[in-house]
Amino acid sequence: MVTIFTVTGSNLPDNMQFALTDCAGIAELSGGSSTQRQFSCTPTGQSGARQGAVSASAGAASPLHKLSVDYQAIAAFVTSLNWRYAALKSDGTLWGWNPLQPVPVKIGDGYADVAVSIAATLAIKKDGSLWSWGNSNDAGIQGNGTSGSNATPVQIGSDFVKVVVKGERSVAGENAEALKKDGSLWVWGARSLQQPNAIEPELTPRMIDTGYVDIARGSGGASLGLKRDGSVWTWTQNLANQPFTPVKIADGYVAIATSYDAVYGLKADHSLWNWGGNAPNQAPAATPTAATPVKVGDGFVSISAGTYYALAVKSDGTLWAGGDGNNGQFGDGQFNRGAFRQVGTGIAAAWAGSACSFIQKTDGSLWAAGFCDLGDGKYARYMLTPEPVTL
């Protein structure tokens, strides 16, 4: 999850650099001053101490300050769509399962990110290489340059840090977006050609813009990009007259997520905001927009969006859920929907899916709630309260 580091002092230089081992996507947040600057990044790898430093500028001979950070690694990042599951463990091993393969099978080693579509998997290795595979290449979602599918991983790019998929509620087929280390944004799949209304798919990743530190997409949600200065941008596919033309919609965020007709933004002060017609927390008089978002609350450190709902974790370890929980994926024993409410305690991280939520507790154990297939060889089933997951 994105972590924010605050550096305080006197006469802090404008070109200050922050470094921390195994913390990806380091970026300085906007609004810094000579007495306080903030940096964000996402810790990766296994639990333990990480060494860092603050320097006056890039290439400085010696740091202004050294630091050591201890953190608990995520046991396994789990993502799912259309009953296809992928689990990325903290040791870099990637595992997958589905109704035809009901127990987890190891796919490979050295992975850093993964996303699943209706019938394909896209994953990034620690060296930045992007890979795709699956039993279908619907609308070119595999990005392999052909309309044919490959059952085993095939490399389709390099220097990437994040990949996201628009899946089951996308218009005219699936498509994907990915972010490179240099901040460039790439797209492929259905409705991804530059020409307006072109129905042919983009079969290989194509760059559309630069300058981003994070991206987000939901199943039917907006395409979103977050820039280093905290600004949020959105763009459309080629169903529009000006496709893939990013438009700035908001400022002041450090993390973003999106689901069907809802957007969630986390600010540096740990406040969480939402907007859109399907946003869980609505305004009394009008639907909240990017210009008039509704505040969900304070103290949040992470946000994850599923198809119609979202999960958020606070710094005190409480878990909050909002939106449509009609599959029991809030884990509080209910089938219902509504504004964000507390549904758990002792939580380190949480991931929202289409009908199933995965939760990591502070003791490192992994749990699931909703209509889930746990990869235990049993049929998918309703779990109104969290059940343990073994990978």
Asked if 160 and 129 touch (Cβ cutoff 8 Å), the reply is yes
pLDDT tens digits for range 333-374: 999 899 999 999 999 899 998 899 999 998 889 999 999 999
Q: Which tens digits make up the pLDDT trace of 236-280?
A: 888 778 888 899 999 999 899 999 899 999 998 899 999 999 999
The mean predicted confidence, pLDDT, of the chain is 87
Q: Please tell me the class of the 255-391 domain.
A: mainly beta
Q: Tell me the pLDDT tens digit for each residue of 88-144.
A: 988 889 999 888 888 899 999 999 999 988 878 999 999 999 999 988 887 899 999
pLDDT band at residue 191 under the 50/70/90 scheme: confident
Q: In whole angstroms, what is the distance from residue 110 CA to residue 90 CA?
A: 10
For the cut 90, the answer to whether the pLDDT of residue 47 exceeds it is no
Residue in the structure block whose two tokens are 């870099």? 92
Rg (CA), the chain: 20
Give the pLDDT score at 125: 94
Contact 3, 67 (CB under 8 A): no
For the chain, the structural domain boundaries read: 3-71, 110-222+232-251, 255-391
CA–CA distance, 188 with 153 (Å, rounded to integer): 17
**pLDDT at residue 152 above 70?**
yes
Q: Characterise 46 by phi-psi region: left (phi > 0), alpha (psi -120 to 50), beta (else).
A: beta
Picking from 208-217, 233-242, 307-316, which range would have the lowest pLDDT averaged per residue?
Answer: 233-242
Structure tokens at 174: 């699936």
